Structure 1
């Protein structure tokens, strides 16, 4: 009895592994979106056919050799396509394609009467995707050379006016993810579609050839496994073809094809729309989606941003064997305290629509005043909010802008907490949205400093926890350090207290609305960080869900293009 499984493995190990591979690939095909690994199943079917050839001769062997050869060639093509996709997914290759292809490759917007808002957003994102591609490779976008038609230009400007702009940016970043981390850039080309059409025909031809071959003398288990593999290959290749044809990338391909008859047949007659709707319905059915649960949410940013509050960290209870969870003690035993502090005391929060609108309006104001263009911030972080209020002169407010960026985040973060604690304006009910926005952005920038320092300009801090040399609440910090000139042990706290005191004094004497000033400074922090982050960091973060700074950076690129288009219309 004990030898049964071992004997089965010795005689059927290859067949078992190939069947297991096929099963896993079917799971990926159904539940993992664009991730597909059909090449291994194709080669597996070819291998099993090859084993039959050794036992066959004459005419029977000839049919098997043909079937095996077809599957082998198909497998080689699949692996070659994957290698080609890896080559095309680098930033260098994307930059080359931007320079060699006409900028208007995705500049055709086709309004459809029966599409949903989600479909409309997806198609609009494709129509503006050339801006994202140029931005990710740090290539300047010159609007007068982009060939925008009148309809697209009007749409670009209209998208700025609402939260729709955020939706478009999220979808565009998902499209960039497709280009960088999937085979979309290869599949949705003429050669890619040709491979998709030929693949199921080749697999089906191999299945027919195997069916015509007499099975006398062949092991029944091998014959059954071969049928399963060939049938699975036909199913997967057919599904891959239908998914490719119904993809939104096919809409972009058809919109820019030189074959007018194909565009008319597929788009103008709405044949592609019918295929698309059928594909969406089938995906929703397979994945059990209900009404209102959009399939496009998986393509977007999660709407959540990280949060890290230093005062919350500093006022944490001391860890003892009685208060620290067992898992926490184990983690601290296996990892440095700094790693534990970063991850255990971080959190996430959903970004509200009010903050989105506020950030978009502030960016529009900066653009209108000429503070940045084509992704380049023209002034230092925090300078514009002070200048617009006449506060950019000697004093702690200006001095706080001369600090290194990481230092500025720490000082403004603590000063913000102190200011919100002692401010009377911040306690008003009507100030709640602004207070919420200030806290969210302040904690988010601190989160980037602690968890994602590579997303910020400047040199990362060696140890974030050194600023936390006190375990006092905001009031105690303010009372302790507001009148000190310098403290060797905590120079940042001196800066913090003086900055908070200045903000409170400006609020009390009515010089300015300090709460709105602090909010604009944090929005300036966010915009500055998004523009100074390297393109490589933006691209790498897409693989793990994206970051708010990436969306803000891309939004600035689009807003600048719409601004230039409107300016040219006025000339």
Structure 2
């Protein structure tokens, strides 16, 4: 208190006395906080680890922005608080002016607090469910390695500086072992999840192919020797899908898990831009073409769940023999430290503050509970069940399967199973200029405001999934050569219009830039929907529902996820179209509803192309979409909505195949994306640009005829 009072200026003292504030009470509060600061820090660090363990895995099947923010804050604070606490413990407390007994007690109390240093290392090691919040974090594994070395050195320095007795030293050795292993495990997991490491681990052994030079030399020598020589190439025998129809069957959940784990080993190459072979295509098609659509999607969901675990958790480390060994070592080491601490200091219980002893045991209990929970999660996982398949531990694999069926039933989606929705006409009618929107526009936050206010989510219906699966399966069965696979993946409505016989009239709408095609068909779909009163038929209602869901989803991608689509000026085109729509609909004194707005647009005479009248400066496609809608409205309702549905499904598949793999990977931690699921389904059915090995080694034979 004397030091505190000396540091305060006279003016401050006078002000405090004049205001009636009690400097003694403030000093007491400061003393209490100094005493409790390190205790609050370590308990907060423990609480954050508990939150991360049980909440981090939820985000792969949840799109909640609140959960994402909370996890982000917890992920950052967990490391910051642990590092700050280690720095706090490094300050030696020297107590002057106190009696010998008091000073001795405070020094002993400091020794038990520095015993918390290895616990902080354990917390810095993180939890199995989260090592990287985003895929960019894994690329910083070298920084984490440097942090590992520095923080371990600091913790050892802090502990050795306190000169601990035997009752603290022996338990601390075991806790340091657990903490260092945990921290090293996290750093190794980050390294394994980095894209460079993933790619290098999946690159196949270099294959020079048959010795062409030697073969041609033999051919030349044979000819020079005057012998008749001929090279014959035997055609390669390859299994193909030529059956006009393949019977779909239902397989057990255990088979679904096993198939997903096997395919994951091969198809995880998609995320690092590595190629696949025709053997991979044949093997995958043989499985997926005979599966029911629901189970085909389940295999893909499990594959994507395993990929999320690889990128954002410790799965790549803990599901190895050395990872399981480390897990056993850390559990046994922590239990040993707990027993030693409570046994060795039992006779000296009064030498430490009871609160600190209680906190130490809370840290032990928290560490053991977290470790046991993590081991339980590791056991009840697809990784463990797949690893036990074919082993002698049949009873254990059956037990784990029963646990998986209970905790992760087949009926529960392994991702959010949601698709975002955004509608242009509704947005233009609801978005009104206000003081708030003007301020947000000046701050550059208007886009975030619009995303929060005008974007919503709906469930991905089973009808939509089945529709996509059937369309892709029909394409796969109609393909006769390898070039057709690439051809079909490059269609974005052309194939649908050609098959239905409307390419000549409507082909212009899908030959435009992709973002323009999305806007044209999005507006035209809404205009047809609000102008159509014949939606009583159940099948027609299903087509309408699928068409509108995909239409709104594709507009969401165009506006909020433009990086997942092909490069273009989609956001500029969207802004210009909205501006023209607001001007046109704002002519009325009262704002119309969606149906009235659609009829207003359709009443406009659009015989001449808008570009010929307005020029090309504005990129609005409002009345081009009106022309498209009028052409569609000339068709009978059944044909119209079948056509619209097939065009939208084809656009969805085109967008999925053209999205870069790293953007697909990023969405795995945000609840997943329908586009990623469709991308994987296309690849499993043989369509995509990843298949670059279309044949094996040629079977060339040198035939020599003797004269």
Q: What TM-score do you get using the length of structure 2 for normalisation?
A: 0.64
How big is the shift at 1:180?
A: 0.9
| Alignment equivalent of 1:480, drawn from 604, 608, 617 | 604
The alpha-carbon distance between structure 1 residues 376 and 275, as it changes in their structure 2 partners (threshold 3 A), is: same
How big is the shift at 1:140?
A: 2.6
| Alignment equivalent of 1:142, drawn from 247, 266, 277 | 277
Task: Say whether residues 1:44 and 2:119 are aligned partners.
Answer: yes
Aligned to 1:381: 492
The alpha-carbon distance between structure 1 residues 241 and 421, as it changes in their structure 2 partners (threshold 3 A), is: closer
Equivalent position SS for 2:276:
coil
Segments of structure 2 that go 5 or more residues without pairing to the other structure are: 1-24, 59-70, 83-115, 122-154, 206-250, 586-596, 696-707
| Alignment equivalent of 1:158, drawn from 278, 290, 293 | 290
Task: Say whether residues 1:20 and 2:151 are aligned partners.
Answer: no
The alpha-carbon distance between structure 1 residues 239 and 419, as it changes in their structure 2 partners (threshold 3 A), is: closer
| Alignment equivalent of 1:192, drawn from 323, 327, 332 | 323
How big is the shift at 1:427?
A: 6.2
How big is the shift at 1:296?
A: 7.2
The alpha-carbon distance between structure 1 residues 404 and 433, as it changes in their structure 2 partners (threshold 3 A), is: same
How big is the shift at 1:548?
A: 0.8
Is residue 304–residue 350 contact of structure 1 (8 Å, CA) maintained in 2?
yes
| Alignment equivalent of 1:498, drawn from 627, 630, 637 | 627
How big is the shift at 1:440?
A: 1.1
Aligned to 1:324: none
Aligned to 1:125: 260
Aligned to 1:106: none
| Alignment equivalent of 1:399, drawn from 491, 495, 508 | 508
Q: Where does 1:492-531 land on structure 2 (aligned, <5 Å)?
A: 492-507=621-636, 513-531=639-657
1:230 and 1:404 map into 2 onto residues whose CA distance is 61
Aligned to 2:388: 254
Equivalent position SS for 2:608:
coil
| Alignment equivalent of 2:194, drawn from 81, 84, 90 | 90
Equivalent position SS for 1:546:
coil
1:505 and 1:4 map into 2 onto residues whose CA distance is 84
Task: Say whether residues 1:274 and 2:403 are aligned partners.
Answer: no
Equivalent position SS for 1:480:
coil
Is residue 372–residue 378 contact of structure 1 (8 Å, CA) maintained in 2?
no
The superposition leaves residues 174-198 of structure 1 with CA deviations (integer Å, 9 ceiling, x where unpaired) of 2211111111111111111110011
Is residue 260–residue 303 contact of structure 2 (8 Å, CA) maintained in 1?
yes
Is residue 559–residue 571 contact of structure 2 (8 Å, CA) maintained in 1?
no
Aligned to 2:108: none
How big is the shift at 1:373?
A: 7.4
1:421 and 1:56 map into 2 onto residues whose CA distance is 78
RMSD: 3.9
Aligned to 1:109: none
The alpha-carbon distance between structure 1 residues 33 and 492, as it changes in their structure 2 partners (threshold 3 A), is: closer
The superposition leaves residues 509-544 of structure 1 with CA deviations (integer Å, 9 ceiling, x where unpaired) of xxx923211111111110000000000110011111
2:442 and 2:342 map into 1 onto residues whose CA distance is 62
Is residue 418–residue 457 contact of structure 2 (8 Å, CA) maintained in 1?
yes
1:372 and 1:355 map into 2 onto residues whose CA distance is 28
Task: Say whether residues 1:242 and 2:383 are aligned partners.
Answer: no
Task: Say whether residues 1:219 and 2:352 are aligned partners.
Answer: yes
2:549 and 2:280 map into 1 onto residues whose CA distance is 40
Equivalent position SS for 1:458:
coil
How many aligned positions are there? 514
The superposition leaves residues 152-191 of structure 1 with CA deviations (integer Å, 9 ceiling, x where unpaired) of 98654432x3222223222221221111111111111111
Aligned to 2:472: 363
Is residue 117–residue 158 contact of structure 2 (8 Å, CA) maintained in 1?
no
1:42 and 1:200 map into 2 onto residues whose CA distance is 18
2:296 and 2:396 map into 1 onto residues whose CA distance is 29
Q: Where does 1:254-403 land on structure 2 (aligned, <5 Å)?
A: 254-255=388-389, 263-264=391-392, 266=393, 268=394, 270-274=395-399, 277=402, 300-316=414-430, 318=432, 336-370=445-479, 377-393=488-504, 395=505, 397-403=506-512
The alpha-carbon distance between structure 1 residues 546 and 481, as it changes in their structure 2 partners (threshold 3 A), is: farther
Q: Where does 1:539-554 land on structure 2 (aligned, <5 Å)?
A: 539-554=665-680
The alpha-carbon distance between structure 1 residues 23 and 440, as it changes in their structure 2 partners (threshold 3 A), is: closer
Is residue 203–residue 234 contact of structure 1 (8 Å, CA) maintained in 2?
yes
Aligned to 2:313: 182
Is residue 419–residue 503 contact of structure 1 (8 Å, CA) maintained in 2?
yes
| Alignment equivalent of 1:431, drawn from 533, 536, 540 | 540
Equivalent position SS for 1:300:
coil
Aligned to 2:222: none
**Structure of greater relative contact order (alpha carbons < 8 Å, 6+ residues apart):** 2
How big is the shift at 1:375?
A: 7.8
The alpha-carbon distance between structure 1 residues 416 and 43, as it changes in their structure 2 partners (threshold 3 A), is: same
The superposition leaves residues 85-131 of structure 1 with CA deviations (integer Å, 9 ceiling, x where unpaired) of 11111233223333359xxxxxxxxxxxxxx9766644442233224
Equivalent position SS for 1:315:
helix
Aligned to 1:555: 681
Aligned to 1:533: 659
The superposition leaves residues 42-67 of structure 1 with CA deviations (integer Å, 9 ceiling, x where unpaired) of 8237869975984555xx3xx64333
Is residue 404–residue 458 contact of structure 1 (8 Å, CA) maintained in 2?
no
Aligned to 1:112: none
1:392 and 1:143 map into 2 onto residues whose CA distance is 32
